[in-house]
Amino acid sequence: MDLYLITGFLGAGKTTFLRNFIRLFAGKRVYLIINEFGKAGIDGTLLQELGAVMAEISNGSIFCSCRLDQFETVLAEAVSGKPDVILVEASGLSDPTNIQKILSQGRLDVIQYKGSVCLVDACRFSKVVETARMCRKQVAVSSLALLNKVDAASPEQTAETEALVREINPAITIQHTTFGAFQPEWLEAVCPEPALEEAFQNADITLQKACVTFSADITPVQLKGFLTLVGEETYRMKGFIGTNCGLYLADCVSSALKLEPYKGDVPPEDHGKLVLLAGKGMQLRQTIKQAKTWYGQWMKEVQYG
């Protein structure tokens, strides 16, 4: 069964979009999971007429600890019903960077994550992106951005919004739309990985890069502490780190941490190196400097470029 994630900041038009998007799966069994940050489940009420099986999770983000257990339970219930497609509309205040980690659990591994579509308000995005961190994270993990409400935006606003979206995720595909309309051929642009590493190799003066080399006597707990401290100020952290318990793979998207023992072969020159990628407005250097206070004795070298 396939799962599509729908994200977008508050008021971007996710509910209207979902009414259009679900038509692509006519004749298939669809399960909707609607998440709202407030206590009232407004979106669920608006979407009842679609005829799909539906579950609502309100009063918090499904990706936060306060609602994560409920989200996993609802996903398991969806799997038991064997739908063809699962559509998840996330809260506009959600941080979706750990979606693939959630779906990698044993009881949920029958779900094939197809990717994320991010709704972007062409009129308001430039006003909220600098103050709402979640806007950036939602764009960063998506492979397709829909600039919605372009009929209400000036050409200058639309151009500015598109430039901001590409600044956050240069690899993303962007389409313009109104009233959440979706063309079937756009579905080809939806994929699980937006290939952030490759995207950030493009020339971009807003990109921040760092490489931290660790000594092999660092413990996994200490390494996780470093990742936790620095993660909020990054889009991506990745590397093979030798510890006093063996080699570990760090593969993190923002604050969604993945740190696991690694048994494969890794060139010696790559051991101990953690690559960090961040964007405009993120305090990468300051946070790494702060991390030295706690983990400096294991940080052999820090390079920026």
pLDDT at position 122 is 94
Question: How many Å apart are CA 213 and CA 164, to the nearest integer?
Answer: 32
Determine the average pLDDT of the residues in 91-105: 77
pLDDT at position 163 is 95
Based on the fold, state whether residues 195 and 222 are members of the same structural domain: no
Element (H, E) at 241: strand 236-243
pLDDT > 80? residue 5? yes
pLDDT at position 11 is 76
pLDDT at position 256 is 76
87-97 confidence digits (pLDDT tens): 998 877 777 87
Based on the fold, state whether residues 11 and 53 are members of the same structural domain: yes
Based on the fold, state whether residues 248 and 164 are members of the same structural domain: no
DSSP code, position 276: E
Question: How many Å apart are CA 141 and CA 99, to the nearest integer?
Answer: 9
pLDDT at position 72 is 82
pLDDT category, 86, cuts 50, 70, 90? very high
Domain of 229 in residue numbering reads as: 208-304
Q: CATH code at 170?
A: 3.40.50.300
Q: CATH code at 219?
A: 3.30.1220.10
Based on the fold, state whether residues 117 and 185 are members of the same structural domain: yes
pLDDT at position 283 is 92
Based on the fold, state whether residues 181 and 283 are members of the same structural domain: no
Question: 202 CB contacts (<8 Å, ≥6 apart)?
Answer: 170
pLDDT > 70? residue 47? no
Based on the fold, state whether residues 168 and 33 are members of the same structural domain: yes
- Measure CA of the first residue to CA of the last residue in the chain; give whole Å: 42
Determine the average pLDDT of the residues in 82-105: 82
pLDDT at position 45 is 44
- Mark which of 178, 199, 220 sits at the end of a domain: 199
pTM of the model: 0.66
Among the ranges given (13-27, 37-51, 88-102), the one the predictor scored with the smallest mean pLDDT: 37-51
pLDDT at position 198 is 47
Radius of gyration (C-alpha) of the chain in whole angstroms: 20
Number of separate domains in the chain: 2
Based on the fold, state whether residues 81 and 169 are members of the same structural domain: yes
Based on the fold, state whether residues 123 and 82 are members of the same structural domain: yes
Based on the fold, state whether residues 241 and 135 are members of the same structural domain: no
Determine the average pLDDT of the residues in 53-77: 71
pLDDT > 50? residue 106? yes
Question: How many Å apart are CA 246 and CA 258, to the nearest integer?
Answer: 16
pLDDT at position 64 is 61
pLDDT at position 203 is 44
Residue bearing the bigger pLDDT, 133 or 173? 173
- Mark which of 166, 199, 232 sits at the end of a domain: 199
Per-chain mean pLDDT for the chain: 84
- Mark which of 146, 167, 199 sits at the end of a domain: 199
pLDDT at position 41 is 40
**Percent of the chain surpassing pLDDT 70:** 84
Based on the fold, state whether residues 216 and 265 are members of the same structural domain: yes
Based on the fold, state whether residues 287 and 145 are members of the same structural domain: no
Based on the fold, state whether residues 63 and 177 are members of the same structural domain: yes
Determine the average pLDDT of the residues in 195-223: 74
pLDDT category, 204, cuts 50, 70, 90? very low
264-294 confidence digits (pLDDT tens): 888 888 889 998 888 777 899 999 999 999 9
User: Contact at 8 Å (CB) between 235 and 277?
Assistant: yes
pLDDT at position 174 is 97
